[in-house]
Structure 1
Amino acid sequence: MKYYLKFVFLYTVSCFVTVATHAQDVPVKNSKEKPISPDLFGIFFEDINYAADGGLYAEMVQNRSFEYNPSDRKGWHSLTAWKYLAEDFAYGTLTVETSEPLNENNPHYTVLNIEDEGQGKGGLGLANSGFDGMVLKEGENYNFSVWSRLFSESAVPLRVELRDKEGKVYGHTTWTAESTDWKKYEARIAVTQSTDSAYLAVVAKGKGKIALDMVSLFPENTFKGRANGLRADLARVIADMRPAFVRFPGGCLVHGDGLENMYRWKNTIGPVEERVPQKNIWGYHQTAGLGYFEYFQFCEDIGAKPLPVLAAAVSCQNSGGTWRIGSIGQKAMPLEDMQDYIRDVLDLIEYANGPVTSTWGAKRAEAGHPQPFNLEYIGIGNEDKITPGFEERFKMIHDAIREKHPEIIVVGTSGPSHSGEDYEKGWEFAKRENVALVDEHYYEKPEWFWNNRERYDKYDRTVPADIYLGEFAAHDTDRKNTLRSALAEAAYMTHLERNGDIVRFSSYAPLFGRVGHTQWNPNLIYFTGDKVLRTVNYYVQQLFSVNRGDIYDPGLVSPSGRGKDKKAFVVSGVKDSETGDIIIKIVNGEEGELGADINLSGLDISKAEAECILLTGNPVAENTFEAPETVVPETRSLRVNETFTYPAPAHSLSVIRIKL
């Protein structure tokens, strides 16, 4: 694709003085300038496609607490991902039991009854395969932990090994179970060689009877070195987007598959062994190891505003597997339970922002964060069917937040689509209740995004509610992440910038997909146990997020020549008042090169420095694990004049950043 660049950077220019960095010092070139949301581009994280367990959450042991069951997925059970080991003539039994568990939230555990420990290096025990095998890196440390309880008189020595399928050992540690009460053992394992297909083996080296629970293995090198932390490479690829906000933990995950499956934030904080695991609505299991404290901590670590979303006290309308728009699986919480639920919502705000002297602020402090998380927004509901039951319960929650915490901005919902009955009812209800922000969701073909680039131009500016485009993506043929779909999204995002006075937030969805375990495609980022793939769509989202502004100026750039009449050719010009930079975005979805007229007249460019980041290629091209750099941004310096024409290559996104 480099041949596209050779004609882009042919302009010669005189450069001049620096413009002041404050918004009031940025020259106003015309009366149509308007402020836009500086938080326009962020991310939406949902535990779909193994995005949390087996993904961003760095735990390497699958089914660590033996809580998998058939309701999670057909055929699953307490020993899914585990294997019984009887080596070198060792024999005994392995059972799953529930009497006197570690705690009531974690009722299952395994019991090894070692009748003979065998000979040589073997033993009796169990092995865990992790998520498609465990990835180990030479020279790094891994933190092992387990809770055990001795049922026999004599202490039982055990050996923990990281092995491959041929039995080669990459690292090991030993420990002795000697307590008849539940006790946690921890050790660090140094790995001597890299592999992508290891498994964890825990084998007893003496006779006796021992219970095991919460068998865990974490890389020591988590993101920011956090305990119970995040997989460093996946967290880094998010941080590299520099998102303004993070919406979590869903998505349909929030309102769940029936009322009993509703996501409850209080079940996800505190010691991990005491958290409440449950079925994931997307057909697997969630440990709650990645919980609300970890979400808030991650937002702080990457400088993003937290935007938690809670259920509106109704379950997903698609509960029971009826995945179609308009289905009637939605169940409403009994009204007699609503005050307790509302208290949970208010307690979340206290957990995030309350002083350490408050009940829930103290729990945040106990987790290691005495300072508030500075929560500003909270979402209530997720693309719900707008029924009387939903409206009544949303109003109760919304009114309670507004009364107790008027400083918190509530985000409502307008159903699962860009139009239709729920969309209309959702907006009517939001206007009636003076909801500050309304969450819209839609997934369409690339052509839809090109054809609807005036959607928010037509919205009524007198309505107090702003928009959060919480989920969107262009679905190309076979739902592939093509340059064509990415450019359609880029074109639409220029329209979000133009309407940044009423569109406050936007986020692509879904964010993550683990290869071989996806329930939804396309996704922004794909990954395996040791690889991360940035799609073309990822680069579009990153380029807009990293190059966002807070002032929209329609006088900075316009199509020239043939570009004026082309549907698939759009431009946008914004200013960053913090840096004083001018940022131009040009999207050309046409077959040929088209020009964009850039107008810097009235600005002092005597010391201007400019660069152009170009994303271009074959429209059906996509990045793959075999060819991850098929379409990637390329950056070149660019010389500018007060007025000049930029030749935008066919099928391209160009981001020009000018430092004055």
Structure 2
Amino acid sequence: MEMKILLLGASLVTSLPTMAGGKPISPNLFGIFFEDLNYAADGGLYAELVQNRSFEYSPSDVDVHKQPAGGWHPFTAWEFAKEGNGIGTISLETREPIHPNNPHYLLVDVKTVGKHGVGIRNKGYDGIVLRKEETYRFSVFLRNPDGGSMPVDVVVKDHKGTVVADTSFTASSSTWKQYEMVLRSRSDADTAALSLLFKKRGTVAVDMVSLFPIDTYKGRKNGLRRDIAETIAALKPAFVRFPGGCLAHGDGLDNIYQWKNTIGPVEQRKGDKNIWNYHQSMGLGYFEYFQFCEDIGAKPLPVIAAGVSCQNSARRRGDGQECVPMEDMLQYIQDILDLVEYCNGPSTSEWGSKRAAAGHPEPFNLEYIGIGNEDHITPEFEARFKMIYEAVKDKYPEITVVGTAGPGEAGKDYEEGWKIARKLGVPVVDEHYYKGWGWFLENLHRYDSYPRGGSKVYLGEYASWGSALENALAEAVYMTSLERNGDVVEFASYAPLLARVGHTQWNPDLIYFDGKQVYPSVNYHVQKLFSLNRGDTYHADVVTEDGGKSMLYSSCVRDSHTGDIIVKLVNMDGRERKANIDLNPFKRIRTEAALTVLAGDAKAKNEPGKPASVIPAESRIKVKKSFGYTMPAHSLSVIRIKTK
């Protein structure tokens, strides 16, 4: 039965109408979608090594049925530290905090210093990872309520108790003051802990305890973990959708993601729980998202809730969608308009000046904004979406709004979402679906019949249910159909992007990581091969197969910037297949081409923590106007041909 399905799913490259020289398609087709899911931000891309640095974790952050032993609380990841017969207490306080958005801090009362002092210890995320001779920026806000001075030791020890890095200083301010210094690691440590020890009798208030690698991506302060960021950057995504899907419209009305709470000095940002059942520090905020997009040459595509919360909220029985009251919608819309000004306004404007104060006087050149995500398309949703859409269109006609067609590939929400989009003339509509790999083979013609000239499609979230080569190849097959329909499919992004090993709420994911390493999946390599080999024209009828059509799928695109012709071939079969490639429509091709092949056992995976079993192999091959190419079993081949 499975073979029958595959054969039925196999198809010729459809000859859609093309213009002379190929059919123009979107050059923005392949990008990425970042959501703070699976500890993708804190404990992941955001490089902070201290967990719960500002004591803002709460039992309400985590689903009561999914809490770790002991539950979550303001002391999560912390423990009282007293070494050498020290005596003291710690307490959580809220009087005179650093900022109202950061209301909690710790008060340490040292009764007896003992040999090494009294204080607190943080274990980070599954242990703090340091590397020999690397440097790290330690910082902390302290306040001496009783005046006077307080000597402080900062000590990082590995799991054996060996000191890996340390420093000392004296705190001497009765008001909040930040102390900052650089530590150098003497050795490697994978499960270290950071201790802050106070060496004098008295009290001291503590907040925003931080340990950051100096070597962040692009050397940014409050920046990104370099190895993860580089793995993402290697995809060369055309765009980045952020900060999430379900996360953006949240677990109830008061949990809708508020971009204004995520900018400015980190000690003034307002953390919050997210719908995936953990806390967000907002250290990775809107400024950092836009800066990362700029650093990797990707267009930003922020997503804003359409005035309604996620219908999957656990807050209410039945339909969990909650709506911003109509009397509050004008302010809600103004917040969205302020975002555009923050990104594109001059540094002299109200919100542009806040961008400039963060170190970026030039605009971020925002072109797109998403309104809504997988929403239940109710009359309440429609009314609020229409208000937002028309307000953005009226004040910023240059901004392209991306709408939503509900949570699935079909059904009432899908139909109603598209009906609204066509009625209002929404330029782009976001579709999402997660399916078994056979579904992708059976639905290669999904976009062939979509109307040309109307709203375009953003396939914002899709993946097959698995991380084996067969899943990745099914996605590659589907991506050839996205290229074929690149005149109506404007954007596409696999989801989810990141997952910390041992902390996943969703599988599969594109990139796995732990505190030490990054583990790209087989699916990652497929996404990378398509993203690095984008084109802006599609060319039909370039590839045929000896012996008729079976499990050969292909696409051919041309990059007008380089003149390169790119042929992608996917063989889902368990044996070799020969493809005939006809390049006669192209002029003056070079006879040597670059070949990249991803092949292996259909069930093979790149398991986190183990050497990768399936990775692309690069070589050179000879080509001519008409030539044959033998595809390995279970493979994706990309042939990149230069023109003279």
Q: State TM-score, norm by structure 2.
A: 0.95
Contact 2:44–2:500, Cα closer than 8 Å, also in 1: yes
Q: Deviations over 1:564-621 (max 9, x none)?
A: 331x321100000000000000011012222221112253446443011000110000
Which of 411, 434, 437 is the matching residue for 1:443? 434
Shift of residue 626 of structure 1?
A: 4.5
Q: Distance in 1 between matches of 2:120 and 2:496?
A: 35
The code of the aligned residue for 2:176 comes to: W
Q: Distance in 2 between matches of 1:412 and 1:506?
A: 14
The code of the aligned residue for 2:135 comes to: N
Contact 2:581–2:629, Cα closer than 8 Å, also in 1: yes
Shift of residue 68 of structure 1?
A: 0.3
Which of 358, 381, 389 is the matching residue for 2:380? 389
Q: Distance in 2 between matches of 1:157 and 1:189?
A: 17
2:638 paired with 1:642: no
Q: Distance in 2 between matches of 1:461 and 1:572?
A: 20
Which of 349, 353, 364 is the matching residue for 2:340? 349
1:86–1:180 Cα change, 3 Å: same
The code of the aligned residue for 1:620 comes to: K
Contact 2:343–2:364, Cα closer than 8 Å, also in 1: yes
The code of the aligned residue for 2:45 comes to: L
Q: Distance in 1 between matches of 2:609 and 2:189?
A: 19
Gaps spanning 5+ residues in structure 1: where? Answer: 1-27
Q: Distance in 1 between matches of 2:589 and 2:392?
A: 52
Which of 596, 610, 613 is the matching residue for 2:593? 610
1:647 partner SS = strand
Contact 1:526–1:533, Cα closer than 8 Å, also in 2: yes
1:32–1:449 Cα change, 3 Å: farther
1:24 aligns to what? Answer: none
Which of 553, 569, 572 is the matching residue for 1:589? 572
Shift of residue 243 of structure 1?
A: 0.2
2:387 partner SS = helix
Shift of residue 309 of structure 1?
A: 0.3
Contact 2:469–2:604, Cα closer than 8 Å, also in 1: yes
Q: Deviations over 1:264-322 (max 9, x none)?
A: 00000000000000011100000000000000000000000000000001000001178
Shift of residue 31 of structure 1?
A: 4.2
2:559 paired with 1:565: no
Contact 2:40–2:498, Cα closer than 8 Å, also in 1: yes
Contact 1:29–1:602, Cα closer than 8 Å, also in 2: no
2:30 aligns to what? Answer: 41
2:110 aligns to what? Answer: 114
2:293 paired with 1:304: no
2:451 paired with 1:467: no
1:101 partner SS = coil
The code of the aligned residue for 1:36 comes to: I
2:196 paired with 1:206: no
Which of 508, 512, 521 is the matching residue for 2:507? 521
2:639 paired with 1:656: yes
Contact 2:496–2:509, Cα closer than 8 Å, also in 1: yes
Contact 1:154–1:208, Cα closer than 8 Å, also in 2: no
Contact 2:147–2:173, Cα closer than 8 Å, also in 1: no
2:96 partner SS = coil
Q: Distance in 2 between matches of 1:106 and 1:608?
A: 63
Which of 463, 477, 481 is the matching residue for 1:491? 477
Identical amino acids, percent of aligned pairs: 56
Which of 413, 425, 429 is the matching residue for 2:416? 425
Q: What does 1:178-189 align with in structure 2 at a 5 Å threshold?
A: 178-189=172-183
Which of 250, 253, 273 is the matching residue for 1:256? 250
Which of 537, 546, 549 is the matching residue for 1:551? 537
The code of the aligned residue for 1:86 comes to: K
Q: Distance in 2 between matches of 1:301 and 1:102?
A: 31
Which of 128, 131, 136 is the matching residue for 1:137? 131
Which of 80, 83, 86 is the matching residue for 2:82? 86
1:131 partner SS = coil
Contact 1:58–1:228, Cα closer than 8 Å, also in 2: yes
1:536 aligns to what? Answer: 522
Q: Distance in 2 between matches of 1:288 and 1:447?
A: 39
Tell which deviates more after alignment, 593-602 or 577-586: 593-602
Gaps spanning 5+ residues in structure 2: where? Answer: 1-16, 65-70
Q: Deviations over 1:430-452 (max 9, x none)?
A: 10111000000000000000000
Q: What does 1:49-88 align with in structure 2 at a 5 Å threshold?
A: 49-73=38-62, 74=64, 75-88=71-84
Contact 2:589–2:624, Cα closer than 8 Å, also in 1: no
Q: Distance in 1 between matches of 2:611 and 2:250?
A: 35
1:11 aligns to what? Answer: none
2:430 partner SS = strand
Which of 583, 607, 619 is the matching residue for 1:600? 583
Q: Distance in 2 between matches of 1:153 and 1:224?
A: 40
Contact 1:91–1:116, Cα closer than 8 Å, also in 2: yes
Q: Distance in 1 between matches of 2:618 and 2:147?
A: 69
The code of the aligned residue for 1:282 comes to: W
Q: Distance in 1 between matches of 2:316 and 2:597?
A: 43
Contact 1:66–1:79, Cα closer than 8 Å, also in 2: yes
1:216–1:609 Cα change, 3 Å: same
2:41 partner SS = coil
Q: How many residues align?
A: 620
Which of 287, 293, 296 is the matching residue for 2:287? 293
Q: Distance in 1 between matches of 2:103 and 2:187?
A: 36
The code of the aligned residue for 1:382 comes to: N
2:126 paired with 1:101: no
Q: Distance in 1 between matches of 2:445 and 2:21?
A: 17
The code of the aligned residue for 1:102 comes to: I
2:563 aligns to what? Answer: 580
1:457 partner SS = coil
2:219 aligns to what? Answer: 225
The CA RMSD measured in Å over matched residues stands at 1.4
1:29–1:432 Cα change, 3 Å: closer
1:299 partner SS = helix
Q: State TM-score, norm by structure 1.
A: 0.92
The code of the aligned residue for 2:549 comes to: D
Contact 1:534–1:628, Cα closer than 8 Å, also in 2: no
Shift of residue 33 of structure 1?
A: 2.0
